[in-house]
Amino acid sequence: MMAGDYLRRSVAEFVGTFALIFAGAGAVAFARTATDIALANGLVIAVMVSAMGMISGGFFNPAITLGFVVTRRITAPLAVAYLLAQLGAAALAAVLLNWVLPAATATGTHLGAPALSGISAGKGVAVEAVLTFFLVWVVFATAVDPRGSFKQIAGLAIGLTITFDVLVGVGLTGGAMNPARAFGPQLVANHWDNFWVWYVGPLAGGAIAALVYEALYLGPPRPEPVGPPETGVEEIAPGTAAYE
């Protein structure tokens, strides 16, 4: 379980989330195609997870934080610190975007706030939940599961998941998959249309993915020792190696 060292870990979460909102939301203002937006989001996450993963886990997303909370892989106080860092970074990044972008661009795009396009709010929740399920599933498979390859490809795998998720979702819901990604632009642009879609969907999808992966592949957090009792040899708990 991740615990302690709140300041340094929270700063890492702040920097990574700030980068995501600044690059991801900023790309909406000037991107020519959906591919441009998808690559902007995927690349920034791939880089920041690779850079900050060994410090904070590289969450940068309240939905991922919740996934770690419901599987008891992060303590409640650290989760609160992460949420404050993520939401604060999102708001500050949106403030900076509002300052640097031309007024017409900032207003026309609502600072990159996600929006529904041709679908109902209920369908939007389902889309965001499914996309976030894929994201958190990959996070657990690469960064949590000790059989995964965190040091080698976790950042790349997570970034590519963000990329294909955005390619699918950008024309429907904006493909946020992240309450912080929605919160910053919504707050600064004061644009709250169907705001709950980008909170309920990602949080539900992330929690379900974490719980299912935990139950199917990681098992109990502390298995019984293996080998004869006199040897004192104990197997490392599944899902903890990457964070110890």
| Per-residue model confidence as pLDDT tens digits over 153-173 | 889 999 999 999 999 999 999
Which of 53-67, 142-156, 170-184 is least confident? Answer: 142-156
Q: Give Cβ neighbours of residue 26 (< 8 Å, ≥ 6 apart).
A: 40, 97, 101, 112
Structural domain total, the chain: 1
> Residue 60 pLDDT > 60, yes or no?
yes
Tokens of 159: 């970034």
- Span 108-127, pLDDT tens digits: 999 999 999 999 999 999 99
> Residue 226 pLDDT > 90, yes or no?
no
- State the pLDDT at residue 146: 87
| Euclidean distance between CA atoms 33 and 182, whole angstroms | 20
> Residue 231 pLDDT > 70, yes or no?
no
Domain region containing 186: 6-219+234-243
Find tokens 């998959």 and name the residue: 177
- Span 8-39, pLDDT tens digits: 999 999 999 999 999 999 999 888 899 999 99
> Residue 223 pLDDT > 50, yes or no?
no
- Say which DSSP state 72 is in: T
Residue 88 in domain: yes
Q: What is the CATH number of the domain that holds 90?
A: 1.20.1080.10
pTM, full prediction = 0.88
Per DSSP, the three-state class of 74 is strand
Residue 55 in domain: yes
- State the pLDDT at residue 236: 39
Strand partners, 2: 74
- Span 63-74, pLDDT tens digits: 999 999 999 999
- State the pLDDT at residue 100: 96
- State the pLDDT at residue 109: 93
Q: What percent of the chain shows pLDDT beyond 70?
A: 86
Residue 229 in domain: no
- State the pLDDT at residue 234: 42
| Euclidean distance between CA atoms 216 and 170, whole angstroms | 31
- State the pLDDT at residue 237: 40
Residue 18 in domain: yes
Pick 244 or 21 by higher pLDDT.
21
- State the pLDDT at residue 147: 83
List Cα–Cα distances, 171 to 35, 57, 119, 168, in angstroms. Answer: 11, 30, 10, 7
Q: What percent of the chain shows pLDDT beyond 90?
A: 81
Residue 1 in domain: no
Q: Which residues of 46-57 are buried (b: 16+ CB within 10 A; e: fewer)?
A: bbbbbebbeebb
> Residue 1 pLDDT > 80, yes or no?
no
Mean pLDDT of the chain: 89
Residue 228 in domain: no
Residue 224 in domain: no
Q: What is the mean pLDDT of residues 189-194?
A: 96
Residue 196 in domain: yes
> Residue 241 pLDDT > 80, yes or no?
no
